[in-house]
A and B are shown apart, each in its own frame.
Chain A
Amino acid sequence: MTMHVDVVSAEEQIYSGTAEFLAAPGEMGEIGVLPRHAPLLTRIKAGALRIKVANSNEEEVLVYVSGGILEVQPHVVTVLADTAIRGHDLDEAKALEAKKLAEEALANRSGSIDYASAQAELAQAVAQLAAIKKLRNRA
């Protein structure tokens, strides 16, 4: 008996295939999954997934993930892998940095949106494009 294993991240598909067994570093301890496992949803820590590929004498395939979420269905296992090393503090630091950058950029400007000048700028760009199109049609 086998199950289908997908390891996907936001940026790419990392692994896809059938397997007899999968071991993952769950947040509450290592988790082993065999086909027809009960539905399970858990967070996983950074570490290696061990996948025993079906119908092959090869050793287990190792896939490293930097954390994520593991979803188990009786015949399908999906690992939603994180591409970056995540953590509450790390994310917080990134957000703070982004905020700081924005505040710096905001420091020397007035508060209200000047729609008139913004629209004028866009209108100018549109006019330029229209002119290019016209020129092109004439040629």
Chain B
Amino acid sequence: MAGGKEIRNKIKSVQNTRKITRAMEMVAASKMRKAQARMKAARPYGEKIRNVTAHLAQALQDYAHPFLTKRAQVKRAGIIVVTTDKGLCGGLNTNVLRTSLNQMKAWQQAGIEVDVTAIGNKGFGFMQRSGARVVSHVTQLGDTPHLDKLIGPVKVMLDAYMAGQIDELHIVYTRFINTMKQEPVMEQLLPVPADSMKPVSDHPFEYIYEPAPEVVIDDLLIRYIEALVYQAVAENIASEQSARMVAMKAASDNAGTVIDELKLVYNKTRQAAITKELSEIVAGAAAV
């Protein structure tokens, strides 16, 4: 029974694979809950900053910060691509990269050059391989991202914007909708879209500024952009974990079906072997 042993080995190996995918599924499920909590915790900051900035932008009509003014001509655009560090999470990174690539191609056709900031290993590797101009990157953010690590790479883009090297800045990431659904989205960071800067209250009032309004608004706007990037990274991690959970669940289910099929084949060959042996004995007895 040469076939039997091989099939048994094969079943064993698939069972081992299933063990791993099951474990990964459970790890992803627990990480997902934490990532979701972190994503929600990051929201109040962004909202608060947006409110204050909107108010400031309204109050300081005569101080036009470059972040808030649209440029007449776009010669070069910046794009921040947020991907994961690790794979095995379904089509998550592929979708984000496809969205970015389509946009980059559209820009190229319109004669706009592109600078890329890559967050996450997958996007960085892909952009490097495809030959995009990666001006800054950050990888190995881990499960708990820290703003600290994002400041540098984002500042490279903000500086380029301030210096007039790029005229627009966009971000592409995976938005977390629910456990089963995540979608790649592209948002404009700079210049700050006018509709996101709507005044929050209709009571006109003026702040006392210390030291000066321009200084405060400069600081606020930089933090606003950083908060948006951080929020995107947090959402991306929540998406990553839930996508991985779903992908690993599918893999475990698939392993189950494969095992069932193999078991059927194994039993069939076993029975065939027994039948063969019996008929040989009977034939042998008849011959005697």
Residues of A within 8 A of B (CB): 6, 8-13, 26-28, 38-43, 69, 71, 78, 80, 82-84, 86, 91-92, 94-99, 101-102, 105-106, 109-115, 117-119, 121-122, 125-126, 129, 132, 135-136, 139
Identify the 10 closest CB pairs spanning chains A and B, nearest first.
Answer: A94-B152, A118-B130, A42-B210, A98-B152, A95-B155, A84-B148, A98-B136, A41-B207, A98-B153, A12-B41
B219 partner residues in chain A, CB cutoff 8 A: 43, 69
Rounded to whole Å, the gap between the CB of B115 and the closest CB of chain A is 10
Q: Which residues of B contact A (CB under 8 A)?
A: 38, 41-42, 44-46, 48-49, 52, 56, 90-91, 94, 97-98, 101, 104-105, 108, 114, 124, 126, 128-138, 146-148, 151-153, 155-156, 159, 205-211, 213, 215-216, 219-220, 223, 226-227, 230-231, 250, 253-254, 257
Measured CB to CB, the nearest residue on chain A to B145 is A11
Are B133 and A106 in contact, with the CB atoms below 8 A?
yes
Nearest chain A residue, comparing its CB with the CB of B227: A10
Smallest CB gap from A42: residue in B? B210
- In the complex the two chains form, is B216's CB within 8 Å of A13's CB? no
- Tell me, in angstroms, the Cα distance from A126 to B101 when the chains sit together: 14
Q: Which residues of B contact A6 (CB under 8 A)?
A: 44, 48
Secondary structure of the B side of the interface? helix
Q: How far is the CA of A9 from the CA of B234 in the complex (A)?
A: 14
* Nearest CB of chain B from residue A46's CB, rounded to whole Å: 14
CA–CA, A42 to B217, complex, Å?
10
Smallest Cβ distance from B192 to chain A, in angstroms?
Answer: 17
Task: Tell me the smallest distance from the CB of B124 to a CB of chain A, in Å.
Answer: 8
A86 cross-chain contacts in B, Cβ below 8 A:
151
A136 contacts across to B, CB distance below 8 A: 250, 253-254
Chain A residue numbers with a CB within 8 Å of B42 are 10-12
* Residues of chain B contacted by A113 (CB below 8 angstroms): 104, 108, 114, 130-133
Give 10 A-B pairs besides A95-B155, A115-B130, A117-B129 with Cβ atoms closer than 8 angstroms. A10-B46, A11-B146, A12-B41, A39-B207, A78-B52, A92-B155, A99-B135, A99-B156, A115-B108, A125-B94
- Whether B137 lies near A39 (C-beta < 8 A) is no
Residue pairs across A and B with Cβ atoms less than 8 A apart, 27 shown, are A9-B45, A10-B46, A11-B230, A12-B42, A13-B41, A13-B44, A28-B211, A40-B207, A41-B213, A41-B216, A43-B219, A69-B52, A69-B220, A95-B152, A98-B156, A102-B134, A111-B133, A113-B104, A113-B130, A113-B132, A115-B104, A118-B126, A119-B101, A121-B129, A122-B98, A125-B94, A132-B250
